[in-house]
Structure 1
């Protein structure tokens, strides 16, 4: 956003990058590329992550002659929306994941709980049944943690920015580029337009509606769908985490807490002959 403000004030891209560099190697490299007439977008894409997406948008705007300041403002708004989506999904996932992690460690509290009740849980190692219960219980704890982590990873949103290809296509078309050229530019740096983008372009062609506005709307809808999917995934995760709880965690608690207590009681009450 700061770069967009500097460009709006009339500064050349190289000068604007210099003002923002502040010793940052990437921004310094971008300033040098702008001064020498090289591809600034390629420099940004080499960093990876979100810089790769910004570099793709910069490269398209530079190729079609779109205003860089307006382009960067659109990019900042899209990135802000995508960040809000990820934050909302992370908050929705935090409670079920934290609860599952806490319950996963619950069986291991069985041993100190037995000691607090005056029993000697370690004496279970003198019995073959106790050794089997200990090994099986620890195995179930490990299986529960692995299962829980896998479910949590599957519920996490991916790193892609929802609707970014629609934003790129809108930038390419905003300066009068043809649809064929816009598709070629987006395809060369972003894997090609998605089904939603193609549907928006088809609707624009059939109805005569502004393609750029339709693409902006498609980008917003993509982020809205990502937010909805994230919330639904968090809700489903809360239910799915009950499966490892019932299959692994509760049996592990019985093996590590109840079995040692029962063996301790038997040892203390049965008098050897």
Structure 2
């Protein structure tokens, strides 16, 4: 078992590192997709404004369907409705998503730094032991040292998953229920009936049901109110996320105390203390 402890610990560390890397890459790819979609929408608006040789149908093919449904764009083109307002609303939605993602990253910057330090501490402890003339790898390869190694790696793994669950449990900084309201407001400004506009978009949140009913029955202009509602709900989502992230900074003491500090003692301190202490008492 002792000879297998070090390869097994390296395997566990490798799997955890790969999982953490994949999770980070997924978040980065999502942000990259938003940025690419924003660039595509801006170029489409520029092409439409320039007039040139680019037709509305050619521009339509370049617009990501997750930003503006193609059926909706085809309907607007058939009706002769200018697309600029609709594309501008889609751009605003993407900018809101990017801003919310940036706010979440900033709120979790302290958490990420703390986790990186606590994960790296055992490695620094092992390197320090080597500098002091201790042989921690030899210690981990035999007897109780193997148990200490596996226990330390297991505690670090548990701590990482614990923090991952805490981060995943944070409220989203983006209120997706109102993300389509700016687009709906742009369609209403373009002259589309509220029922026709709603039929082309995902379901609207219950908070704007009264406004939509008022517009459907009396034709009341509600585009400004929809945009104001979307901004208010988005500000509330950001504030809730920031508050939860600050609270997480306090709750982070739990995995640090239960998992990471004991892991540091087992991996970075115990081999050095036992070997140096044994050498000291042997000299005495």
For normalisation by structure 2, the TM-score amounts to 0.69
The aligned counterpart of 1:255 is 266
Which of these residues, 61, 66, 69, is aligned with residue 52 of structure 1?
66
Q: Is the 8 A contact 2:188 2:223 kept in 1?
A: yes
Which of these residues, 219, 230, 233, is aligned with residue 222 of structure 1?
233
Identify which of structures 1 and 2 has the higher relative contact order when contacts are C-alpha pairs closer than 8 Å and 6+ apart.
2
The aligned counterpart of 1:3 is 44
Superposition RMSD in Å = 3.5
The aligned counterpart of 2:38 is none
Q: 1:32-181 maps to which residues of 2 (within 5 A)?
A: 40=60, 44-45=63-64, 51-55=65-69, 58-59=73-74, 61-62=76-77, 66-125=81-140, 128-155=143-170, 157=172, 163-181=178-196
List gaps (5 residues or longer) in structure 2.
1-41
The aligned counterpart of 1:213 is 224
Shift of 1:126: 7.0
Is 1:194 matched with 2:205? Answer: yes
For normalisation by structure 1, the TM-score amounts to 0.71
Q: Is the 8 A contact 2:67 2:90 kept in 1?
A: no
List gaps (5 residues or longer) in structure 1.
18-29, 35-39, 46-50
Shift of 1:250: 0.2
Q: Is the 8 A contact 1:110 1:258 kept in 2?
A: yes
Q: Is the 8 A contact 1:100 1:241 kept in 2?
A: no
Q: Is the 8 A contact 1:166 1:197 kept in 2?
A: no
Cα gap change, 1:184 to 1:148, in 2 (>3 Å): same
Tell me how far apart the structure 1 counterparts of residues 173 and 75 of structure 2 sit (CA, whole Å).
24
Q: Is the 8 A contact 2:104 2:242 kept in 1?
A: yes
